[in-house]
Amino acid sequence: MRPRVVIAGAGFGGLTCARALKHALVDVLLVDRNNYHLFTPLLYQVASALLDPGEIARPVRQLIRPLRNADFLQASITGVDLDGRRLLTDHGPIPYDYLVLATGAQSDYFGNPSLAAHTIGLKDLDEGLAVRNRILAQFEASRWTDDPGRRRMLLTFVIVGGGPTGVEMAGAVSELIRLVLRKDYKDLDTNEVRVVLIEAAPYVLGAFVPSLRAAALRSLEHKGIEVMLNAKVEAVTQSSVKLEGGEEFPAGMVIWTAGVKASAVGKATGAQLVRQDRIKVDPTLQVPGHPVVFVIGDLAGAENGHARLPMLIPVAMQAGRHVAESIKGLAGTGGASAFRYKDPGIMATIGRNSAVAQIRGLHFSGFIGWVIWLTVHLINVISFRSRLVVLINWAWEYLFYDRPVRIIVRARE
Amino acid sequence: MRPRVVIAGAGFGGLTCARALKHALVDVLLVDRNNYHLFTPLLYQVASALLDPGEIARPVRQLIRPLRNADFLQASITGVDLDGRRLLTDHGPIPYDYLVLATGAQSDYFGNPSLAAHTIGLKDLDEGLAVRNRILAQFEASRWTDDPGRRRMLLTFVIVGGGPTGVEMAGAVSELIRLVLRKDYKDLDTNEVRVVLIEAAPYVLGAFVPSLRAAALRSLEHKGIEVMLNAKVEAVTQSSVKLEGGEEFPAGMVIWTAGVKASAVGKATGAQLVRQDRIKVDPTLQVPGHPVVFVIGDLAGAENGHARLPMLIPVAMQAGRHVAESIKGLAGTGGASAFRYKDPGIMATIGRNSAVAQIRGLHFSGFIGWVIWLTVHLINVISFRSRLVVLINWAWEYLFYDRPVRIIVRARE
């Protein structure tokens, strides 16, 4: 019997780990609550009606077809029986010889129930579609009211959080409205439409150097986005946002990108947690006391030198490859070695012709930044077909200022 | 003030009517519960994981952009105040000078509650996505059970109704399973999978000549579909189908295409109804006693000579154009004239390389029929972009036996 490696989560970390185990003398079982792997960097493009779900999601089973030693099961993970070496799921327990926990992160509302109830996150495909449906539905609803106050409320879109997700989403919503919906709604008064980006820090894109933060801020304001810095959201209702300090304004929709914490699987393991509910791990990414259990990606409370590892795709992918090597070692005659993150750089786009990128001391913004962003993302969209269809949609949008999939659709239960 | 033409329904009939009024001296208002126009002939390809929703649905507002005298409102239609000349909606009443009712058809379960509760129809995009989610979810669920009986139940897909929709869906499900999912599920025993097509008549595709019915039946059986003729469904449960006469067999999913009736708007008007709840109309498609109200498409209980008009897209489109001319006449110095349907032919595909077509006395089947089907549908997919993306997906599937969008996704509410 070959040892069985169970990988919980088919995101970038889990999938990379499975692929890196392709030639190992182990059996790999991937488990995920969805049957697809999601290309999350483009989720905001589904949310802003540019891409269809199928263009950024690929069936896990298709992706692992080339891996002869890998299989997949769809299930929600409910916990881990660390001593009994079983992953617990809503379909029953799955025994493992080695376990890789890679279930990622979720929105964190910091215990504020009004945020949880009245905002939409942007962490999974369901949420991306919900955002798209909601934006379009509010434009339609705004055509039915003669009350300018209510119309302005329906047409105020608030994005909370000035990180890459918030900045990208704000830029995309602004362009959807200014470039596309304005043509759909001939009698729309664009002065009634607001796109507001709220950030608690005195700048957006805190992970970038000050010159790029400033470039991104200029670009956001140039695209008509009202950026509120040094502003914290205290409460959200169906129709308003209240800031700390008392200011309150009408808003029909609030997208929450300001808080993120590890997936609930972390807590459910019973292992020791660190900040953001991440599982505390050794430098080898093993759970202390459980050398056959590894944690990678956003769920891993790892430290790299003095800094904690950021919740970024390259971290998850590098960790996935690293842990695959460690498991090969443990299953053979070697052992686990310490993980060290090699930073390939960070980037964020604000929309057409505008992005910032920070790569090994080099800083890019504006059109050059955008070309870099485009190239990197095009290369990384995961399969040939997706790449082709995504490229067509992008080219179409760029040339014709169109958003092809602005349809409101829900699957019937 | 120019007269206001309100068109209820943005399907093929309503949209064609709006377009035909492009140069008329009237204001046109389209109303639909969805913000998109749906290319229904390819809905079964969404349901079978070949196309994404955005590829067969286009925003109504985009489609009417070239029409300077047309606008759109999204609302559910709740009735008509015929005497007050107001269309009633969930957002309030809309006054009209002329009204075109084009709200189409819905599934008819003939008052059988077990059919309504445990089958999925194929009339709108939500249902198409629901069918796709369900097929894929049952394959995933089948991997979790060791009970061969339960697995066989989960993997039995029943399509009720041997008309074009049922035949196309049965062919598409069979190909999804045999050509694609078989490669996704390496340990799948294809003997455990059943695709069953149930039809009450002694043949499928009753609208076609006997030789084409026979060709379609051979093609279905060649594709591994169990066709049950002279069979009527009496009841459906979560996990079984019971036929009239007592035979009962396990089935995890039942798709209902065997009954169709006019949309509920017909009944809500209070006008006189004929068979299938269609509104009785004069030969001019006017509602008797209400000369400013026209009915077109599946909702119209029109007669063409002695035969009632079939529920087909060409009927709706021709009627839309005809009614537009009548309205131009009434708004000017002319009047309404009798509608006469010109049959352009009918066709249905059973899958790869197989379709039947019956065009003015000419009969085609097999590969030639399929090429005709493909050409007609490609030309008719409504916009350039969609055509391009659909063509890529079709070519991809044809060459690589792939179904690109087999992902299970629901919009979060």
Contacts of A91 in chain B (CB under 8 A): 144
Nearest CA in chain B to A36: B407
Measure Cα distances from B147 to A83, B142, B153, B181, B190 in Å. Answer: 29, 9, 10, 20, 16
Tokens of A167: 């900045």
User: CA-to-CA distance for B352 and B346, rounded, in angstroms?
Assistant: 18
Q: What pLDDT is stored for residue A293 in this prediction?
A: 98
Collapsing DSSP to helix, strand or coil, A363 comes out as strand
Q: Residue A379: CB partners within 8 Å, gap ≥ 6?
A: none
CATH architecture of A4-33+75-107+260-331: 3-Layer(bba) Sandwich (3.50)
Q: Which residues pair with B76 in a beta bridge?
A: none
Q: What pLDDT is stored for residue B306 in this prediction?
A: 55
Q: With bands split at pLDDT 50, 70 and 90, how would you rate the model's confidence at B382? A: low
Q: What pLDDT is stored for residue A307 in this prediction?
A: 63
User: Are A154 and A138 in contact, with CB atoms under 8 Å apart?
Assistant: yes
Q: Indicate the domain borders of chain B.
A: 4-33+75-107+260-331, 113-258
Residue-wise pLDDT tens digits, B89-112:
999 999 999 999 999 999 999 999
**Among A144, A187, A405, whose Cβ lies nearest the Cβ of B91?**
A144
Collapsing DSSP to helix, strand or coil, B220 comes out as helix
User: CA-to-CA distance for A275 and A298, rounded, in angstroms?
Assistant: 11
Residue-wise pLDDT tens digits, B118-161:
999 999 999 999 999 999 999 999 999 999 999 999 999 999 99
Contacts of B127 in chain A (CB under 8 A): 412
- Four-residue CA torsion sign, A154, A44, A56, A22: negative
Residue-wise pLDDT tens digits, A90-148:
999 999 999 999 999 999 999 999 999 999 999 999 999 999 999 999 999 999 999 99
Cβ of B52 within 8 Å of Cβ of A53? The answer is yes
User: CA-to-CA distance for A115 and A244, rounded, in angstroms?
Assistant: 14
Residue-wise pLDDT tens digits, B307-337:
678 999 999 999 999 999 999 999 988 899 9
CB-based contact (8 Å) between B146 and chain A? no
Q: Which of A257, A166, A153 is nearest to A220 (CA)?
A: A166
Residue-wise pLDDT tens digits, A307-330:
678 999 999 999 999 999 999 999
- Would you tell me which residues 147-186 of chain A have a C-beta closer than 8 angstroms to some C-beta of chain B? 183-186
Counting residues of chain A whose pLDDT is more than 70, the rounded percentage is 96
Is 90 exceeded by the pLDDT of residue A385? no
DSSP summary character for residue A33: S
Burial class (CB in 10 A: 0-12, 13-18, 19+), A343: middle
Tokens of A286: 């093993």
Q: Which of A269, A259, A10, A300 is nearest to A123 (CA)?
A: A259
Nearest CA in chain A to B397: A385
Q: Residue A96: CB partners within 8 Å, gap ≥ 6?
A: A4, A5, A6, A29, A85, A86, A87, A292
Contacts of B120 in chain A (CB under 8 A): 412
Is 70 exceeded by the pLDDT of residue B75? yes
Is 80 exceeded by the pLDDT of residue B70? yes
Q: What pLDDT is stored for residue B399 in this prediction?
A: 77
Whether B4-33+75-107+260-331 shares its CATH topology with B113-258 is answered yes
Tokens of B198: 């149930």
Contacts of B388 in chain A (CB under 8 A): 392
User: CA-to-CA distance for B94 and B82, rounded, in angstroms?
Assistant: 12
- Would you tell me which residues 288-347 of chain B have a C-beta closer than 8 angstroms to some C-beta of chain A? none
Q: What pLDDT is stored for residue B407 in this prediction?
A: 74
* A129 CB-side CA count, 13 A: 23
Q: What pLDDT is stored for residue B98 in this prediction?
A: 98
Q: What pLDDT is stored for residue B384 in this prediction?
A: 62
Size of interface A-B (CB pairs under 8 A): 152
Q: Which of B319, B370, B341 is nearest to B212 (CA)?
A: B370
User: CA-to-CA distance for A195 and A241, rounded, in angstroms?
Assistant: 13
Q: Residue B126: CB partners within 8 Å, gap ≥ 6?
A: A409, A410, A411, A412
Mean pLDDT of chain A: 92
Is 80 exceeded by the pLDDT of residue B304? no
Mean pLDDT of all residues in B36-53:
91
Q: Which CATH number fits domain B113-258: 3.90.1150.10, 3.80.30.10, 3.50.50.100, 3.60.15.10?
A: 3.50.50.100
Cβ of A392 within 8 Å of Cβ of B388? The answer is yes
Q: What pLDDT is stored for residue A113 in this prediction?
A: 95
Residue-wise pLDDT tens digits, A181-195:
998 998 899 899 999
**Among B61, B183, B389, whose Cβ lies nearest the Cβ of A392?**
B389
Tokens of B145: 């059970």
- Would you tell me which residues 247-266 of chain A have a C-beta closer than 8 angstroms to some C-beta of chain B? none
Helix (H) or strand (E) holding A221: helix A210-222
Q: Which of A24, A45, A78, A31 is nearest to A349 (CA)?
A: A45
Chain B closest-CA separation from residue A58 CA (Å)? 7
Nearest CA in chain A to B396: A385
Active-site residue A325, yes or no? no
User: Are B129 and B120 in contact, with CB atoms under 8 Å apart?
Assistant: no
User: CA-to-CA distance for A163 and A206, rounded, in angstroms?
Assistant: 7
Max alpha carbon distance in chain A (Å)?
Answer: 75
Q: What pLDDT is stored for residue B258 in this prediction?
A: 96
**Record: fold of A113-258+352-400:** FAD/NAD(P)-binding domain (3.50.50)
Instruction: Please pick, among A55, A127, A168, A175, the residue that the annotation labels catalytic.
Output: A168
Contacts of A94 in chain B (CB under 8 A): none
Q: What pLDDT is stored for residue B378 in this prediction?
A: 81
Q: What pLDDT is stored for residue A144 in this prediction?
A: 95
**What ipTM was assigned to the predicted interfaces of this complex?**
0.90
Q: With bands split at pLDDT 50, 70 and 90, how would you rate the model's confidence at B239? A: very high
Measure Cα distances from B5 to A165, B87, B95, B101, B326 in Å. Answer: 44, 11, 9, 11, 12
CB-based contact (8 Å) between A392 and chain B? yes
Collapsing DSSP to helix, strand or coil, A318 comes out as helix
CB-based contact (8 Å) between A10 and chain B? no
Is 90 exceeded by the pLDDT of residue B397? no
Cα–Cα–Cα angle for A377, A381, A385, rounded to 5 degrees: 135
Q: Read out DSSP for B68-121?
A: TTEEEEE--EEEEETTTTEEEETTEEEE-SEEEE---EEE--TT-HHHHHHEE-
Nearest CA in chain A to B386: A404
User: Are A1 and A26 in contact, with CB atoms under 8 Å apart?
Assistant: no
Q: With bands split at pLDDT 50, 70 and 90, how would you rate the model's confidence at A10? A: very high
